[in-house]
Structure 1
């Protein structure tokens, strides 16, 4: 065992918290899960200024709550080399980096992202030339230079079917040349207590000198996936399902939840204790900058077990009031439709409803002799054949659909389930659906906060992955949710199951 690896290994065996470096850190969803499990964040590298400042606000702040400016400043991983970064943070890294986590940006890997690139470049394979598709390379450079004990990489499922080949396997091949044993799989956040159907690729690698095998946490929740999810998974796994298991020994098939697993956490469980937002109905919802410094009391509904966790998360508890509960000011056309849409309705159904409401109003005006209404005041302009998923009214008794990065520009994909509120979700509601606790702070205004949330790894899922990895490494593991988890003895120290 090399001296560097041996020193790190011995240090965490003695109970010192593993030192965590977060690449492409965003606001810190992955970091929150790992820190809660028992790691110590030495810092993150993030190019987005608001996300970088959020990371510092939550993990590297002074006693007065102000963020450490060194950490808050955005950093471009293509320009900041590992040695330079460690020099800036020498006091945190003098004994090395134990775990590296991160998710290189994914637009070039997603089917939506590829379509946009093709449209812009008029090239059917433009996504292959997108420089963002190569951002896993500097991630590997950091691994090569810093020699962590282990690492975790996250991305969209389509990284396994990118341009006709399995990029996940290629990354594993590079890591194996650097001395790591690798495994990857697809995990859905809903199976781990997150109120959101979010499917993602995860790769775990452990240095071969430790003689340990990478593994993934077992699911703790179960439910029935809606139509389309299984098909999307099969597309992502195309190059794995059609070959033998020995050819893809790095791939771990997603484990099925146990038959006695508790049901998925629902949207209502996540949001029902938050206060209603209805000012827009009375014309009081003014357009303009939506800032995140307001303070609202919680609603009258008692919190569910999940909501209590969001209010009482260790080191990130609620301050006794609600921050960030702000939403978009839209049009009366939209509010009218939101009120009448049924749970689960998508854009084609909303468009058909709008056409019906418009025809009814036209008929009403003709009979009364009033001027005919403008079509644009009733019918949204998007082609229902091209944008089937653009709008969706959430169902209260199901998890939400995937929160996307474009929440920063458009939240119609998550319309509130209560027709009386007839609106899209707020920043705090998006955070709840992503499993960010109420005490977690977001820098910037509404749109940047939405973007940060949509880009994040759900902290509760990250915690499950972190717990599994730390237990495998023999590190001291924190058990911060005594009312929310049960520890089951297994071949290792313990397996934690989220059971709210």
Structure 2
């Protein structure tokens, strides 16, 4: 008789819980979550999914891997995975980590938090892991970080997949490219996580559903009851924003677009300047710290409301956030879209389960 495998998750750099919610969606409960930002941890505490999760506000570097395992409550014979989206920014070197002889290649001063993720993975040896980051981590200037990461996990016995994904393909109403490095000590069930959505103009004979549009997920929040003071637009470019058609940016007001009285010069501004959503198209990437005239704005020429930006990231409708408007925008903008994360975790989970079942059959023969 084949026994089922039961897994739990340890979440590092949890933020507002986008990746954690993805784990719950994939039926893997999160046993432990840690983040250095107090507002993020308070957000997790507000949501019932985390009632059984040990939530820690602190610096991951201050916690030994053994302590993390103990606080998670995961027993030595239990299966578990580690997930996390470590920010890759210019940090100082983490000396104790880079001096270990198996950690060659991770000597880039920007890799401090990547090192912390690797430290916990290599010391706890989970059944699998998923590391999430921006796609630009694959840029040649970051080659030492990625090469070092792969070198370490291979030495630890992990097979891996590097997935360049777009949230659009997993049911998120948003163009958002992200990088995932997925590792397991067994084999993978396929080359990549299964996509569920595709370009509606190219779906002939396809099992994929059309991309989810912004209007589909946020139109219900356009009511007077959900008005937010922060959504009101005023100031230097308020009239210009109103003139931009849905789905366009400032370039609609240039000579390039045939505007009779050009207000701007094409390609002289950032592309998301006065950028406006179209209700029948997916959203552009939701940012963590947008400037006053940086979109995407609502097609009704206002800033997006909190439940709207959360929905565009595919957070559950009843998900609650703690903190100021600025803090909440940052939390949501930095999050892994839950539906995208679910696809990655489901892919890893099914691979681990297939390996577990295969090993049982071998042992029984």
Picking from 408, 414, 417, the partner of 2:299 is 417
| Aligned counterpart, 1:269 | 216
Taking a change above 3 Å as real, the CA distance of residues 140 and 340 of structure 1, as seen in their structure-2 partners, is same
Structure 1 residue 450: deviation in Å? 0.7
> Which residues in structure 2 correspond to 1:67-86 (within 5 Å)?
71=55, 73-86=56-69
Taking structure 2 as the reference length, what is the TM-score of the superposition?
Answer: 0.80
Taking a change above 3 Å as real, the CA distance of residues 331 and 153 of structure 1, as seen in their structure-2 partners, is same
| Alpha-carbon separation, structure 1, partners of 2:39 and 2:217 | 25
| Alpha-carbon separation, structure 2, partners of 1:214 and 1:79 | 37
Structure 1 residue 389: deviation in Å? 2.5
1:54 aligns with 2:43: yes
| Aligned counterpart, 1:345 | 248
Structure 1 residue 103: deviation in Å? 0.9
Q: Could you list the per-position Cα deviations for residues 385-430 of structure 1 after superposition, in whole angstroms to 9, with x for gaps in the alignment?
A: 24332330111211111112214x6573111013xxx211111110
User: Unaligned stretches of 5+ in structure 1?
Assistant: 1-9, 63-67, 110-127, 226-255, 278-295, 297-321, 361-378, 476-500
Taking a change above 3 Å as real, the CA distance of residues 410 and 215 of structure 1, as seen in their structure-2 partners, is farther
| Aligned counterpart, 1:443 | 322
Taking structure 1 as the reference length, what is the TM-score of the superposition?
Answer: 0.60
Q: Could you list the per-position Cα deviations for residues 346-386 of structure 1 after superposition, in whole angstroms to 9, with x for gaps in the alignment?
A: 23545889xx99x99xxxxxxxxxxxxxxxxxx89x99724
Structure 1 residue 34: deviation in Å? 1.2
| Aligned counterpart, 1:217 | 193
Structure 1 residue 157: deviation in Å? 1.1
Whose radius of gyration is greater, 1 or 2?
1
Structure 1 residue 106: deviation in Å? 3.5
Q: Could you list the per-position Cα deviations for residues 8-48 of structure 1 after superposition, in whole angstroms to 9, with x for gaps in the alignment?
A: xx9xx744641101111111111111111111111212111
Structure 1 residue 83: deviation in Å? 2.1
Residue 163 of structure 1: SS of its match in structure 2? helix
Structure 1 residue 155: deviation in Å? 0.8
Residue 161 of structure 2: SS of its match in structure 1? strand
Residue 395 of structure 1: SS of its match in structure 2? coil
Taking a change above 3 Å as real, the CA distance of residues 21 and 259 of structure 1, as seen in their structure-2 partners, is same
| Contact 2:169/2:196, CA 8 A, preserved across alignment | yes
| Contact 1:34/1:466, CA 8 A, preserved across alignment | yes
> Which residues in structure 2 correspond to 1:242-391 (within 5 Å)?
259-276=206-223, 296=225, 327-349=230-252, 385-391=268-274
| Contact 2:9/2:30, CA 8 A, preserved across alignment | yes
1:142 aligns with 2:143: no
* CA RMSD after TM alignment: 3.5
Structure 1 residue 152: deviation in Å? 0.5
Residue 143 of structure 1: SS of its match in structure 2? helix
Picking from 166, 171, 191, the partner of 1:193 is 171
1:32 aligns with 2:15: no
| Alpha-carbon separation, structure 2, partners of 1:194 and 1:331 | 30
